[in-house]
Each structure stands twice: as C-alpha cells, then as structure tokens.
Chains A and B, each alone.
Chain A
Amino acid sequence: MITRRNLIGTSAVLAGAAAISGRVQAASIPEAVTTASPAMQPPLTPASGPAYQPVVTLNGWSLPWRMNGEWKEFHLVAEPVERELSPGMTAKLWGYNGQSPGPTLEFVEGDKVRIFVTNKLPEHTTVHWHGFVLPNGMDGVGGLTQPHIKPGKTFVYEFVAKRSGTFMYHPHADEMVQMAMGMMGFIVVHPRDPQERRVDRDFVFLMSSYDIDPGTSLPKVMTMTDFNLWTWNSRVFPGIDPLVVRKGDRVRIRIGNLTMTNHPIHLHGPHFEVTGTDGGWVRESARWPEVTTDVPVGGMRAIEFTAEEPGDWAIHCHKSHHTMNAMGHEVKTFIGTPQKDLTKAVRKLLPDYMPMGTEGMAEMGTMEMPMPDNTLPMMTGFGQFGPLEMGGMFSVVKVREGLARDDYKDPGPYKHPPGTVAYEVKGDIPDAMRRSDNSTKPGNVELSVVKPRTNRQGGQH
C-alpha cells in the first residue's frame, strides 16, 4: 500500500485498495461516456494534457477523459451491450461503455492515469492492462492481485503509462467467458514527443472471434476452436470500415489478437515493416520487410508503410476460413456431384430447394438466399467488378490522392487508369499442351518398386 501510494504520489484519500468510497468521492468520478453506434468516429484530438497524434479505431472510438490535477481520469463501465457485427446481424455481447470492443484509451508517455471501472455485468470482473509495466496490485488479475469487482461496484486503477506503444485491456476474471463475450479494448500510449515515430494515419483494431449459431445472437462461450465469426473490432466484412489513406501518407496499423488462434495478416500492394509488438518498438535495424505478419494469440503488432500506390488494396487474415462468415463445417462437398436432375425430386419434398456446390461455392457470393434471422451470408460483399465472396477478417486499404488530412470517408471504388485492369483474351486460344501428349517411349525410364514384405512365417518366431 505504502509503495503504491508513494509511487502514485497522491495524498488523496486512502484506505483499502478496493472500494473507492472514502478515497475518491463518488461525485468526483468522471462521467462514463457511451456510444450506441458501431460507426468509426473521427480521431479524438486531445483538448487537455500533452499533445499527441490521435489514432483512429476501426468501427470504434476513443474514450474522452478529464484532467484532475495531474491525473488523467477515465471511466470504463463493464456492461452487456448489443453490437452490430455487420448490417443484418446484431450480437448480444458484453463490452464497455456501450460497445464491444470498449473505447480505445489513449495515454501519453508519462501520464498518470486513473481509470474508474464500474461493473454493470451480472458477475464480477476485473481489468487487466495487457502489456503495461505497473504496480502488481494494479495488474487486474482477480484473486491474485486484487479482489474481484462485484456487480454494481466501482474500482479505480491508478498507474503511470511508462512507455509508449501498443496495449490492450481485458478482464482477468472468468476471462474465458468474458473474452468470448467480447470484453476487450485497445490502449495506445503516445510518445511524449509528438514528432517521435509520427505517422499520418494510425489505425487500430482488435481481433476477436465468436461462435454464434445462425438465428441466435448470444455467443457460445464454450467454443474453443470452431468459431464461425472472425471479427476486427467485433465487426465482420462487409461491416468493417475501409482504411482510407491519402497517397503518400505514412500509415501505421496496430493489430491486437484476443482470439484463440494466430492470424497471418496480409496486406496487398504496399510492403510494410513490423515496427512494434506489445513488448515495445522494434529497433529500426531489426525490422524486415513483410507483406504478411502473423499476429500471435494475445499479441500485438504495429505495421507501418508509406502509401505510394493508389488503389483498393485488400487487407485480410490469410486463414481463408477466417474470411468467411458463419458456415457449416460439416457440410459435405458436392463438387463433381451433378444434382440438377435430382432437383425436381427434391423440390417435391422441399419446394424452395436449389442445388448448390456442384461447381464449387463461388455461386454463394452471388446468390441472395433467404437465411435464418440475424445471420450473415457466408460469402458476401460486392465490388465494382462483382461479388467479393468474403466475410469476416477482411477490409480494404483505400489509397487515394488528394484527401484532406483528417478525411477518413469511404472514397468509393478505385478508378483504375485505362489499361491497368486484367482483361479477357479474345480470339483463338490454343489448347493447353499436356506432358502426357508427348509420346513417351516406354522403357525410357523404368522404375520397379518392390514393396517390402515381412516374412510372416519367419517373423513370428
């Protein structure tokens, strides 16, 4: 206790580590700002405290704070929320301040931060400040470093943001359930010097996964691997905003992974370098060029690139099942199984039946089939040339010339300069020549394979 008080250096009200009553007057708790919209909000330019270059949270927002002396005070409310995963589907999750993930917390290196956490969940919770070096009693591991925050209670965490970098917050109490329910948020600590590692656009998103049966809205928290919704900031394509970038901008994308598997994030077009992990910034000499970076479970990656090439550049997880939406993993494969002639018989029993999958599943991208309520199509989204056949962890980095500095508005599809789009070859196309078409002379190469046999009679004894 004494150590902590010394560290914090505050004479303000003391007593037990748990309840704030008696230490901070209830009236002095800052207002908990909430939002009901999953839309991406403009970067929150700091109005008090040290200046920094704010980040943009994909389909999210940053939490306003207030200065209380030298303390930056935030108020997080853990509560059940309804999050639109994509137009047409809303999930009943747990989150913070009206949304899952919770609002991004932005600190500046050296800030003294005081974070009030009010628990409006039906069960106890805590908040763990993932990646922070802080007093052990502020680490938020229920039972180990602090008492749990019971429903209806408000706890306060106080620590100094010692180093700049990329962090997360999430519960460390019944965490399997609470993280499967969407409780998480992003923390960015900006350098004290706004010019240090300065970029023009700084995007952040957290990766989380959910298992929500079609027609339901509550995640199945017992699922360990077979999730069916792979999300960025609890959104799935086509519900994920594009990452809009002005040509020539220096761009940083910070990615956190709170799913139960790794995600190789692949960016088309510009090459990037991994400049940061949850352990800190990567020394310049140690960076290497990449087009895909594997974000480990519970890990963070900051990647940076300069947007030189205009266009619509896809960014996605390279596990192709993660760029689908809810799908039945037990569905049999019908490729090469003609079904059309059986359709009539099936329709006698199932009038709305139409055969699928005989030629693959691409038709799913074009079909508008009626589906259960509150369900997203498995492959979806349309671009200027047709169906994208995507869902889940997929978005587009839209590099455009002449955008305003804080303009994150979707500029629409890229207008390709003439002659720069793949095109169909017309006219006579010769048949592909196959190796087997060359008359091979028998006997040229002869291999005789002798299958080794065990001598049963001899081998037995």
Chain B
Amino acid sequence: MSAPTCVRATVFRRWSTLWRHKTQLLSFSALLLLPACASFSPDGGMSVTTDIAARHLRKDVVAIRNDEDADAARVKVDDLLKRTLNADTAVQIALFNNRGLQAAYNELGIAEAQRVQQSLPPNPSISISRLSGAAEIEIERKIAANILALLTLPARAEIATERFHRAQLAAALETLRVASDARKAFYRAVAARQAVGLLEQSSEASSTTAELAKRMTASGAMNKLDQSRQQLLHTELTTELARARQRATSERERLVRALGLSGKDLAFKLPSRLPSLPNRPPAMKTVEEEALNSRVDLKIARSELDSLAKSYGLTKTTRFVNVLESGYLDKRVEERATGEHKHQSGFELTLQVPLFDFGEARAREAEQTYMQAVNRLAQKAVNARSEAREAYRNYRTSYDVAARYQRDVLPLRNMISEELMLRYGAMQIDVFALLTEARQRIAANANAVDALRDFWLASADLQAAVIGGAGAPSDSPSSTTAMAGDGEPAGH
C-alpha cells in the first residue's frame, strides 16, 4: 500500500520546495530519498495466483525462482508421481512442473521489475562543461531533473502497479489454463486407456468365436462362408484395437506434455477407469453471475480499463506540456591571469513550447484506446455470460447422457446378458449368440466411457467458463468405438 503514497508525498514535498527556491540542497537530497519507497514484493507478486489456485483449484502453486524452490517442487512432484494419478494430483503436478507455466510466472517477475522501475523518479542528469578561453576558464556544473517525469511519477507508478496487477491476473489465468488442460488431458488419457481395455475384451470374444468357427468347420458343422465372416469380424476388431492403442498412446503423450514430464517420470501410473459419475450434478443457478464475478479474464480486462482510464486522464492533463526540465546550475569562472574565482549559481527551466503539437492527437488516441477497452470489456462480459450458460448446458447434457448410460443402458445390457445366459442354459441359443451379445455389451460400455469422459471434460470446461482459464472448448468428438455388433438375432 505504502509505496505509491510514499512516492507521492515525497514528490509533493520536493515540488513545493523547488518552487519556493528555498533549500535547493534539500530538494536534491529529497531526490535521493525516493528509491527507498518502491520495492520488490517478497512473493514476487504470486499472491493473486496462489490465492486463486487455492480458492478455485484447492492447489498449491509455486514460482520457481531458485534451486531451493526447484528442489522443493521436485520432491512434491516425485511424491505425487509415486501414486496412481487422479485428476487432482495430475493438476497439482502440472502446477508444479509445467515449464510453460513457470515462463508465465517469469512474465510476472518482469512486470514487477517494471513496476519498481516505474515507481522510481527519473535520474537527475549532471553535466559539467568546461570552457577555457584565453582569459578565463569557465566551469559550469548542472544537475537537471525531468520535472514532468517527476510530476507524473505517481500516475506512472500507479499504471505500472496496475500493469503488475494485470500480470498477476494473467499468471493466475495461465495457471487456471494449465490446470484445466492437465485435468482434461488426464480424463482423455484415462478414457482412451479404458477403451483399449474394453476393446481387448471384445477382441478376445471375437478371437474365441473365430476359433470356435474354425473348429466347427473342421467338425463339419459350419461352412466356409460363415467361418470367413467370423474370421473377418475378428480381424476388424483387432484392427480397431490397434487404433485404440494408438489413441491411448497419443492421449498419454498429451498428458505428459500438460504435466511437463520427462525421463523417469514417464513411468507414472494411470487409473484403469474414469472416476464414477457424481450422484447428482451440482446445481448451478447463478452460473452467469458467478462467471461475471469470478472470471479472471474479466478482472484483467477491468484492470486494463482502470489503467487506461488513468493514462487517459494523464494524457489529458499533460497534453500541452511535453517536456519540462528544471535543473540546478552552478557556474564557476576562473580568471586565468589572476586566478580569481567567480562563483554563480541558479536554476534553469526549459519548456518546450507546443507550437505545432497541442497534444490533441495523443488525447484522441488515448480516448479511443480507452473506449476500445470499454467496449472490449462489455463484449467480454457478454461472451463470458454466454460461455457460462453454454458450458453449463453442455455440462448438464453430458451429465444426463452419462447418467443414462450408467443408470439405464448398462444395467439393461447386463440384464440382456443375464437373460441370454439363461436362454443359453435352456438351449435356446448357442455360444455364438452369447459372444455377439458380449461384444454389444462391451460396445455399450465403450459408449458409456465416452459419455463419462465427455461429462468430466464438460465439468472442466464449466469450471474454466466460470473462473477463467478456458482453452479451446473441449472438442468432444464422442469417438464412439465403432464395434462390430452386427446384432445377429439370437436363436429363438
């Protein structure tokens, strides 16, 4: 709090002193006092990010500034990697480990450095001129300070602070984005892996049917045509399985990138299945309001607007005054012949006369820039509300779809399997019908996994839409594993 106030107070003191021509020395020394007021914050400006991460993500973040930070983060990441990952640990690892995020934190460091820089008064310039003529030597010493720079110091400091604040929010935004990416990559990787497991089962089923068909051809119970069909089905499923494995590898690599892992870390363990669907979706009646209040990007836009407003006001007040310099002059003249010294002192004020540039253009520019920011913020607010609504609807729909799979489709599939098993026991159908049904059940399970994955992705998107940190909205292609369930009707 104190830094800008402090600067302003000092400058005012200096200002009055200067104009009263009183103690020039005092004013000079006041200049020297200034730097003590603006300083680097102890956490490097991470407080906002830490706060947002703790509040919305319930995660720790760390800006790694030195070896100790790096070691501490490493220990934590190692610890998390030892266990099977879940969505939360994946996010935590990404927050500790993602180098892109650290780069964003560096940006924050840069902004802080600039803030400190901007809160400093302009360095006074000292000039010494020595003119030696035949008769005398004239030594002129001058200390000059850019008064305008001094005058505008509080405003500039404030703008820099604002910029710094924005950088803080930007770092927070980046943190949320990295978290969201990590979360989504985690769900995708687990879902892809689960799909492989299901396809493995399916291909096992088709391999059994193919083998049975082969044996039945040998026993004389099946013709070449039917056997070839069974064989083909198996081949197709095997191909499908290879594709699914490839997808799983890609998704895992995406997760690796999101978590910033390499080397021995790559051996991390993923769970075999997605987390189950919550019993009921958390109702969110005030999703738009929430988005307007919490969206970090809106906060950034607002802050941008604030600082633009300040710089606009500044431009208006300084439009006529472009350069104003004052200086303390000290002149010493030495008679060559006599060795006599003459000493003169005084001050100098230079003012650029705005004869051609009345600052009108700059004022217009500032005004338009300001209005641009106003409009951008308004549009952003409209977008944020719409995005929040869309994300919530997407979330609800994907919840309902996933719930329908979990609560209706899969139990019904199981019921069908059980009933078919009973019919098998009653010699109504044969094992081929059972295996066909098994494949269809597995396909339904694969669809259920897709639906569950889409739900978790939608829930990550919803968080992003409400808090910020949205990357591209998750494309949920519902890559329904096309499974050959050519529902051969069971024998009657």
Contact = CB atoms under 8 A, between A and B. Distances in A.
Interface in B234-288: none
B491 A329 contact: yes
Contacts of A329: 491-492
Contact of A350 (B222, B421, B428): B421
Contacts of B343: none
Contacts of A349: 201, 204-205, 435, 438, 442
B430 A337 contact: no
B405 interface: no
Given A329-B491, A332-B216, A370 B221 contact: no
A326 interface: yes
A157 B431 CA distance: 55
B477 interface: no
B215 A331 contact: no
Given A213-B492, A352-B421, A328 B427 contact: yes
Quick one: which of B205, B419, B422 has the most chain A CB within 10 A?
Answer: B422
B426 A372 contact: yes
B339 interface: no
B46 to A, nearest CB: 52
A336 B218 CA distance: 8
A326 B423 CA distance: 10
Contacts of B487: none
Quick one: which of A348, A349, A356, A370 has the most chain B CB within 10 A?
Answer: A349
A353 B434 contact: yes
B221 A328 contact: no
Interface stretch (A5-13, A338-346, A412-420): A338-346
B428 A328 contact: yes
Nearest to B430: A331
B303 interface: no
Contact of B219 (A327, A336, A370, A375): A336
B431 A328 contact: no
B221 A337 contact: yes
Nearest to B422: A372
Nearest to B417: A350
B370 interface: no
B216 A337 contact: yes
A369 interface: yes
B299 to A, nearest CB: 54
Contacts of A337: 212, 215-216, 218-219, 221
B425 A371 contact: yes
A331 B428 contact: yes
Interface string B192-223: 00000000010011011001100110111110
Interface string A210-227: 000111000000000000
Contact of B425 (A213, A332, A348, A370): A370
Contacts of B201: 348-349
Quick one: which of B207, B421, B432 has the most chain A CB within 10 A?
Answer: B421
Nearest to A213: B492
B216 to A, nearest CB: 5
Contact of A330 (B205, B215, B491): B491
Nearest to A332: B430
Contacts of A378: 426-427
A339 B428 contact: no
A339 B429 CA distance: 16
Nearest to B418: A352
A332 B427 contact: no
Given A214-B426, A327-B427, A361-B427, A332 B204 contact: no
Contacts of B490: 328
Contacts of B221: 332-337
Quick one: which of B208, B211, B419, B434 has the most chain A CB within 10 A?
Answer: B208
B428 A326 contact: yes
A310 interface: no
Interface string A46-85: 0000000000000000000000000000000000000000
Nearest to B488: A330
A372 B492 CA distance: 13
A370 B491 contact: no
A355 interface: yes
A177 interface: no
Contact of B491 (A328, A336, A346, A356): A328
A392 to B, nearest CB: 14
A364 interface: yes
A445 B116 CA distance: 117
Quick one: which of A357, A364, A371 has the most chain B CB within 10 A?
Answer: A371
Interface in A299-352: 326-339, 342, 345-346, 348-350, 352
Contact of A334 (B205, B216, B417): B216
Contacts of A215: 419, 422-423
A350 B438 contact: yes
Contact of A346 (B215, B222, B431): B431
A377 interface: yes
A304 B219 CA distance: 47
A345 B423 CA distance: 20
B8 to A, nearest CB: 77
A412 B424 CA distance: 33
B207 A345 contact: yes
A51 to B, nearest CB: 49
Contacts of B417: 350
Quick one: which of B212, B218, B427, B442 has the most chain A CB within 10 A?
Answer: B427
B431 A355 contact: yes
A98 B85 CA distance: 67
A331 B427 contact: yes
A215 B420 CA distance: 11
Nearest to A215: B419
Given A336-B219, A345-B204, A331 B429 contact: yes
B426 A342 contact: no
A384 to B, nearest CB: 25
Contacts of A345: 204, 207-208
A74 to B, nearest CB: 40
Contacts of B422: 214-215, 370-372, 375
Contacts of A332: 216, 221-222, 430, 432
Contacts of A372: 419, 422-423, 426, 428
Interface in B410-454: 417, 419, 421-432, 434-435, 438, 442
B434 A328 contact: no
Nearest to B434: A350
Contact of A364 (B222, B427, B438, B492): B427
Nearest to B215: A337
A345 B208 CA distance: 7
Contacts of A331: 427-430, 491
A115 B425 CA distance: 47
Given A372-B422, A372-B423, A342 B204 contact: no
Contacts of B434: 346, 350, 353
A328 B431 CA distance: 12
A213 B222 CA distance: 26
Given A214-B423, A215-B422, 12 more contacts: A328-B430, A332-B430, A336-B218, A350-B438, A357-B430, A364-B427, A369-B425, A370-B421, A370-B425, A371-B425, A372-B419, A372-B426
Interface of B: 201, 204-205, 207-208, 211-212, 215-216, 218-222, 417, 419, 421-432, 434-435, 438, 442, 490-492
13 contacts: A213-B492, A327-B427, A328-B423, A331-B428, A337-B221, A339-B431, A350-B438, A353-B431, A355-B431, A369-B424, A371-B425, A371-B426, A378-B427
4 pairs of A and B residues whose beta carbons are closest in the complex: A369-B425, A330-B491, A336-B219, A328-B491
